Structure 1
Amino acid sequence: MTVSSVGRRERKKAATRQAIADAALRLFLEHGYDQVSIRDIADAADVSTTTVFKHFTGKEALVFDQEQDREAQLIAVIRQRTSGQSILDALRQHVLDTWPPIETHPQRAEFTHLVDSTPELRAYAGHMWTRHTDALATAIADELGADHDDLACATLAHYVLEIPTLARGRQDPRAAVEMIFDILTHGWRPPTAH
């Protein structure tokens, strides 16, 4: 009995969180980021402002509502990869599974315009993935038996987390991700003249 009530509670929390995020994005797209208050979002989602802040740290987090579990997912990718799978291959698969679908979403153009036209959101987006560099570098170092301050592990983590920024807006986001991972895997080679 306890298990089902916990499950129900978690489902309700997740549904409330999603309702808040959906209301926020709708309002931001309709009225602009700066014209929408937390109170507006709470009213649209039929919750209190306190409830909004229980689920989100601020307005920026409402726009990027999927950010919450990213660090745990990145660490799990490293620690739970299949036997024989390299760290880079596991990270490549994770980025390919999570990032290109965002780039091809039907609301991407509207969402991108919202982010690009709002300095706070541009800054938040720029740091969204890279804020997890230390945690990812530590997970990589742990898997390799290296020191937590190992520069090679930190460098790899940093560049992997920059991939969405580098590949953003490319005609074929998936191909861009693959190309960047190929550079990380095999090293950089100068492009040949066409």
Structure 2
Amino acid sequence: MTETKTEPAGTPPPPGRRERKKAATRRAIADAALRLFLERGYDDVGIREIADAADVSTTTLFKHFPVKEALVLDEDAEQEARLLAAVRERPEGRSIPAALREHALRHRLAAGDDPRFRAFSELVNSTPALRDYAQSMWLRHTAALARVIADESGLPPDDPACLALAHFALEAPRAARAAHGDEDARRALTRAFDLLETGWDGLTA
């Protein structure tokens, strides 16, 4: 007798063949783009070259990636999920600014030990178009972060202090790197969050 396995309630169905094919095409395009960008530089690689390397048409490429910058920076949903989880799932006793500082140090400034990741970070930070696009996409999480901060603090969802903390927390890594360079950015970021934590504690006491 064959045992029938049932999925837990609420479990989304596995992706179908069409979805898997679309995901594979998307990954092939992104991988081809990153390889060419790392080899020759972002500005010296054209969309047609990327499409040819991935064996797709330019029309197909733009269906998956509407702008060139998105070929490199396309983890917006995943980044927001990690950011909000840093606040919601912080250890007991850890303040919201401290949780956001730890997230920034780990995910926004960390160079990592993987040479490929370091090369990717250098590509983004040394290319103005990518650097500006990354910051623009990152700041799109401000409203969602402000709502989570308010919820975790027992404050109204439209409290301007929550919006201010969210904006400052998201802006701090870029400001620290721009003002102090990669070597001193971690110290500068920690200093900035010390100020945020002191002010937030006084506000919510």
Using structure 1 for the length normalisation, give the TM-score. Answer: 0.73
Structure 2 Cα separation of the partners of residues 103 and 165 of structure 1 = 18
Work out the percentage of aligned pairs sharing the same amino acid.
56
Query: What do the CA deviations read for 1:29-54 (whole angstroms, capped 9, x no partner)?
Result: 44443443333223223345455445
Q: 2:192 aligns with which of 180, 184, 187?
A: 180
Q: How big is the shift at 1:17?
A: 4.3
Say whether residues 1:59 and 2:68 are aligned partners.
yes
The answer (yes or no) to whether the contact 1:61–1:67 under 8 Å persists in 2 is no
Q: How many residues align?
A: 186
Q: 2:100 aligns with which of 84, 91, 105?
A: 91
Structure 2 Cα separation of the partners of residues 75 and 37 of structure 1 = 35
Q: Which sits farther off after the overlay, 49-58 or 73-82? A: 49-58
Structure 1 Cα separation of the partners of residues 22 and 89 of structure 2 = 27
Q: Which has the larger radius of gyration?
A: 2
The answer (yes or no) to whether the contact 2:80–2:141 under 8 Å persists in 1 is yes
Structure 1 Cα separation of the partners of residues 77 and 49 of structure 2 = 22
Structure 2 Cα separation of the partners of residues 33 and 2 of structure 1 = 48
Q: How big is the shift at 1:101?
A: 2.3
Secondary structure of 2:14's counterpart equals: helix
Gaps of 5+ in 1: 188-194
The answer (yes or no) to whether the contact 2:111–2:121 under 8 Å persists in 1 is no
Q: Which sits farther off after the overlay, 61-70 or 50-59? A: 50-59
Structure 2 Cα separation of the partners of residues 15 and 155 of structure 1 = 40
Using structure 2 for the length normalisation, give the TM-score. Answer: 0.70
Q: Which sits farther off after the overlay, 37-46 or 131-140? A: 37-46
In structure 2, the partner of 1:192 is none
Q: How does 1:1-194 map to 2 (within 5 A)?
A: 6=14, 17-49=26-58, 52-53=61-62, 55-102=64-111, 106=115, 108=118, 112=122, 116-118=126-128, 120-168=129-177, 169-187=181-199
Q: How big is the shift at 1:78?
A: 1.9
Change (3 A) 1:136 1:184: same
Gaps of 5+ in 2: 8-12, 200-205
Query: What do the CA deviations read for 1:79-113 (whole angstroms, capped 9, x no partner)?
Result: 22233332122212211221222487646578546
Q: How big is the shift at 1:137?
A: 0.7
